[in-house]
A and B are shown apart, each in its own frame.
Chain A
Amino acid sequence: MDLSYSPEEQAFRAEVRDFLETRLPKEMAAKVRQGHDHLSKADMEAWHAILNEKGWLAQNWPREFGGAEWNAVQRHIFEEEAARANAPRIVPFGLSMLAPVLMKFGSKEQQDHYLPRILDGTDWWCQGYSEPGAGSDLASLKTKAERHGDHYIVNGQKTWTTLGQYANWIFCLVRTDPTAKQQEGISFLLIDMDTPGIEVRPIILLDGTHEVNEVWFTDVKVPVANLVGEENKGWTYAKYLLTHERTNIAGVGFSQAGLEQVKRIARAERANGRPLIENPHFAARMAQVEIDLMALATSNLRIVSKAAAGGAPGIEASMLKVKGTVIRQEINDLARRAVGPYAMPFPSEAVEGDNDPIGPDYAGPLAAQYFNYRKLSIFGGSNEVQRNIIAQTLMGGRR
């Protein structure tokens, strides 16, 4: 047992911190610090470009593809420092979801064409997995692709497509063999969003934001060359992608940044003539979350250091996802509570536009974010699905 970072790891942390101090634009950090999750497309692209220039955008990619090839501990250190500095999150769809699949299962032509375009920002990818009838039960998906010579004809509907409104490409799971058993008739297709027959419809979430979409496909022609790997083997690739989706799944850095925000607010707010941070009930709530988060941070490091040493994360990822989201949601509940009656205003664009904030400047987005972050325990495999994975792995039982 040794809880300290190695000298190399400490030097790496110093380098990351220095980079963030000098290169992260102050206005961008201020937006993130205020809890404005919904950065503009231009903001997200600008941050990607800054990271790419340094060679730190594709953190988990091998060097041969232009990646940083960081190990799990390095990625963890970056995540912690980036959250502490209020850096925007890296948009994961191309970089950490599609890219690993292309590297392992894609053709040389696909790798040479798509990977550089992910790095330089030419392509913005979105994920075509979930369907209205296929959520937790993803393998029941119905969007079908029929082969006609050198093309597939795609028909169906995807949903919950995050930032699909910005994307020019979508990677999709489609059914290519309707007669096969569920998991065996699925293929992995890359589809140009400009193809005729694709329609993107916004879904407005309960906090008034537009971050997810429905994507409809009507007789969409997709070249067979856009098939990744083999036909009807898509489920294997999809599962491989999901293990990468779980990088940084505990979200320790983001929860730490969120808790710091709650503390700042609790120092500024007053309850019964005293700072809220001294209120015993609020302080107890805050302390309990902080204690949970300390344990989660250590759990995360235990698992991460095993992964750095070559061990593969199995059900640990599911455990980190459940606990990490519950803690993050508790922090958002605290933030909402902290601002009292000023949680009630709904800061729409029209109100915020050219006006001063309503109440304290930190209050605006907090209640809306509390509701928005209920998604954390629903998407990326709901917490119920994660518990099934844990229980089935440890206790056996029927699938």
Chain B
Amino acid sequence: MNFDLTEERQMLQDTLRRFLRDRYTTEERNRILNSDAGFSADIWAQLAELGVLGALFIETQGGFGGAGFDIAVVFEELGRAGVVEPVMDSAVLGGRLLAAAGRTDLVEEVIAGAAHLALAHGEPVSRYDLTHVETRLTADGGDLILSGRKAVVVNAEAAGHLIVSARESGGAADADGISLVLVPADVAGLTLRGYPMLSGGRAAEVTLDDVRLPASARLGDAGQGWALLSDTIALAHVALAAEALGAMESAVKLTIDYLGTRQQFGRPIGTFQALQHRVADMLIELEQARSAVIFAAGHLDGDTRTRDRHIAAARHLIGRVGRLVAEESIQMHGGIAMTQEYELAHIAKRIVMTDHRFGDTDYHLERFIALSAA
């Protein structure tokens, strides 16, 4: 057993933490949150230059990391600073899926910070049911025709390509029969309706109306996209859990700092035992969350069932702890934490809204029960 980070990962963590502390200040983040694009191209370029994007890919994919602990280290720091740049979407969901499908040309561009991607998978009625795909893919001569609607596609507007899941065979909720296609953003029949998200960044509702694509747009074999998709979403689960952990660390730190400075009744409110005990509870739960991220990251390369069981456990636990930490941090701050420009408001939103991506606390509890019974 060894719970220390390797020297390389320690360096990555230090470099990224220092960079974000210096550059991703509250003022800078508020400026980014209020911008039309919803993220900073300049910050994005620097993340690429620092090797943060490359650390999310394995060597054969052109990166220098890519394991569960690399992803966890990067996303914990992104979460700590409340970063809204689409690292999850362009690099993990888009980049890692393309890399696994062997499209190395685009992956190189992603690692270099030159290309953005989006995974268009969820649909208006699919909720967290990952095999529910009604968007249709049909062959027409040598071409493919794609039609359907995709919901809350994060980073769709910035993406040069969208990876779209579509059904080629089987029933609406079958894992078999799902194909993945690479769709250029400027193709005829693709329309986006973009909007900002509550916790920063942007997403879009995507309509695909008889989009014609060459057969080469299909990633992997026809109807066999699920394995690729679920392996990639497993990486995203680890990333989301780590990001929430980093954000929770920030929330707790801000709260401790505030309790030490805010004076009421002639003394710092942190001297009241009623509040001290609540901080202690948050710290206890925070360590539980840290362990959950570690066991999820550590089982990422295990067999699918072991991997998924640990992921479900981690995301359930972090969903619970996340809500506690977000709500208690706001409550112990009082009114100041309710204001848009105060750092904690954004951090708390990042924590809570994590629970709406690829399954919430209840969904992962059900999944854990099912995987444990099997």
Q: Does A387 contact B (CB under 8 A)?
A: yes
Interface size class on chain A is: 35 or more
Q: How many Å from the CB of B93 to the closest CB on chain A?
A: 14
Complex-state Cα separation, A237 to B346, whole angstroms: 38
Once the chains bind, are B173 and A340 in contact (CB under 8 Å)?
no
Q: Does B50 contact A (CB under 8 A)?
A: no
Q: Does B353 contact A (CB under 8 A)?
A: yes
Q: Does A193 contact B (CB under 8 A)?
A: no
Q: Does B129 contact A (CB under 8 A)?
A: yes
Complex-state Cα separation, A204 to B29, whole angstroms: 16
Of A137, A208, A344, A368, the residue contacting B356 (CB under 8 A) is A344
Complex-state Cα separation, A20 to B304, whole angstroms: 58
List of B residues within 8 angstroms of A382 by Cβ: 331, 334
Once the chains bind, are B127 and A359 in contact (CB under 8 Å)?
no
Q: How many Å from the CB of B121 to the closest CB on chain A?
A: 10
Once the chains bind, are B331 and A374 in contact (CB under 8 Å)?
yes
Looking at the complex, which of A118-126, A255-263, A266-274 is the stretch in contact with chain B?
A266-274
Q: Does A157 contact B (CB under 8 A)?
A: no
List of A residues within 8 angstroms of B331 by Cβ: 374, 377-378, 382-384
Q: Does B152 contact A (CB under 8 A)?
A: yes
List of B residues within 8 angstroms of A341 by Cβ: 122, 127-128, 151-152, 356-357
Contact A344/B263 with A206-B345, A271-B129 known, Cβ cut-off 8 Å: no
List of B residues within 8 angstroms of A180 by Cβ: none
List of B residues within 8 angstroms of A197 by Cβ: none
Q: Does A203 contact B (CB under 8 A)?
A: yes
Q: Does B3 contact A (CB under 8 A)?
A: no
Complex-state Cα separation, A343 to B357, whole angstroms: 10
Complex-state Cα separation, A340 to B130, whole angstroms: 13
Chain A contact surface mostly: mixed
Q: Does B17 contact A (CB under 8 A)?
A: no
Once the chains bind, are B334 and A359 in contact (CB under 8 Å)?
no
Q: Does B302 contact A (CB under 8 A)?
A: no
Of B193, B327, B362, the residue contacting A279 (CB under 8 A) is B362
Once the chains bind, are B338 and A205 in contact (CB under 8 Å)?
yes
The 0/1 profile, CB within 8 Å of B marked 1, for residues 262-294 of chain A is 000000011111000001011001000000000
List of B residues within 8 angstroms of A384 by Cβ: 274-275, 331
Q: Which of B51-102 contact A (CB under 8 A)?
A: none
Complex-state Cα separation, A368 to B338, whole angstroms: 12
Once the chains bind, are B127 and A337 in contact (CB under 8 Å)?
no
Complex-state Cα separation, A28 to B313, whole angstroms: 45
Once the chains bind, are A342 and B151 in contact (CB under 8 Å)?
yes
Which partner residue on chain B sits nearest A206 by CB separation? B345
Contact A344/B199 with A279-B362, A358-B205 known, Cβ cut-off 8 Å: yes
Once the chains bind, are A271 and B128 in contact (CB under 8 Å)?
yes
Q: Which of B271-327 contact A (CB under 8 A)?
A: 274-275, 323, 327
Of B152, B275, B349, the residue contacting A345 (CB under 8 A) is B152
Once the chains bind, are B195 and A346 in contact (CB under 8 Å)?
yes
Q: Does B366 contact A (CB under 8 A)?
A: yes
Once the chains bind, are A206 and B349 in contact (CB under 8 Å)?
yes
List of B residues within 8 angstroms of A219 by Cβ: none
List of B residues within 8 angstroms of A348 by Cβ: 195-196
Q: How many Å from the CB of B150 to the closest CB on chain A?
A: 11
Once the chains bind, are A272 and B129 in contact (CB under 8 Å)?
yes
A–B pairs, 22, beta carbons within 8 Å: A135-B264, A137-B264, A140-B264, A203-B339, A205-B338, A206-B340, A206-B346, A206-B348, A271-B363, A272-B129, A273-B129, A281-B365, A281-B366, A337-B355, A337-B360, A340-B128, A341-B356, A344-B356, A351-B196, A371-B345, A374-B338, A387-B274
Which A positions have Cβ atoms within 8 angstroms of B?
Answer: 130, 133, 135-137, 140, 159-160, 203-208, 269-273, 279, 281-282, 285, 329, 333, 336-337, 340-348, 351, 355, 358-359, 367-368, 370-371, 374-375, 377-379, 382-384, 387
Which B positions have Cβ atoms within 8 angstroms of A?
Answer: 122, 124-125, 127-129, 151-152, 154, 173, 193, 195-199, 203, 205, 263-266, 274-275, 323, 327, 330-331, 334-335, 337-341, 345-346, 348-349, 352-353, 355-357, 360, 362-363, 365-366
Pairs A-B, 10 closest by C-beta atoms: A206-B345, A137-B264, A281-B362, A346-B198, A340-B127, A204-B340, A346-B196, A341-B152, A351-B195, A343-B356
Known: A205-B338, A346-B195. 19 other contacts (CB 8 A): A140-B265, A206-B349, A271-B128, A271-B129, A272-B129, A281-B362, A282-B362, A285-B362, A336-B352, A340-B356, A341-B122, A345-B195, A346-B196, A359-B152, A367-B356, A370-B352, A378-B331, A378-B335, A384-B275
